[in-house]
């Protein structure tokens, strides 16, 4: 098995998130402001920021398609993000993310085997979405 680094894992995870959120035309809606752009122009933005909780970096519920403006220039636009995330996954799951962050119940750093396995999984999932949605 080839060793992947965390940069490669983030790259494929980000592609997976944006492909997951894309419609059949390859467009994504920003979780925070509803701006619609092609999946390649969007970013994978965190609800619980990585800087405050690295353990949620690869949590699929915590990461959604987000426009550059909201993700970078509005610090995630988190009030709007939270409201729309509740609509998307439900209030119970959002509260679970918040509790997980507050109590730091998840592991902080992935080991090499976890990075490799996660990379393989998200690469395969991205490839499925890419084929199904003609991205």
For the chain, the structural domain boundaries read 6-126
With H, G, I as helix, E, B as strand and everything else as coil, classify residue 135. coil
As a whole number of angstroms, the distance between CA 34 and CA 81 comes to 10
Mean pLDDT of 36-59: 88
Contact 22, 135 (CB under 8 A): yes
pLDDT per residue over 75-117, tens digit each?
999 999 999 999 999 999 999 998 887 666 556 678 899 999 9
What is the rounded average pLDDT of the residues 7-34? 97
Integer CA distances (angstroms), 133 to 17, 21, 27, 48, 130, in order: 13, 11, 10, 28, 5
**Structure confidence at residue 123 (pLDDT):** 97
Residue among 44, 62, 57, 50 at smallest CA distance from 98: 62
Query: What pLDDT is recorded for position 105?
Result: 57
């Amino acid at each position: 098995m080839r060793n992947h680094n965390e940069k490669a894992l983030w790259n494929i995870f980000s592609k997976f998130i944006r492909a997951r959120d894309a419609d059949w035309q390859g467009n994504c809606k920003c979780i925070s402001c509803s701006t619609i752009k092609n999946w390649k122009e969007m970013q994978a933005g965190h609800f619980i920021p990585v800087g405050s909780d690295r353990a949620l970096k690869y949590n699929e519920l915590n990461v959604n398609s987000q426009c550059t403006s909201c993700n970078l220039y509005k610090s995630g636009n988190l009030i709007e993000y939270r409201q729309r995330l509740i609509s998307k996954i439900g209030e119970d799951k959002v509260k679970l993310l918040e509790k997980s962050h507050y109590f730091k119940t998840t592991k902080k750093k992935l080991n090499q085997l976890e990075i490799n396995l996660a990379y393989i999984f998200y690469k395969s999932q991205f490839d499925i979405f890419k084929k199904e949605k003609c991205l």
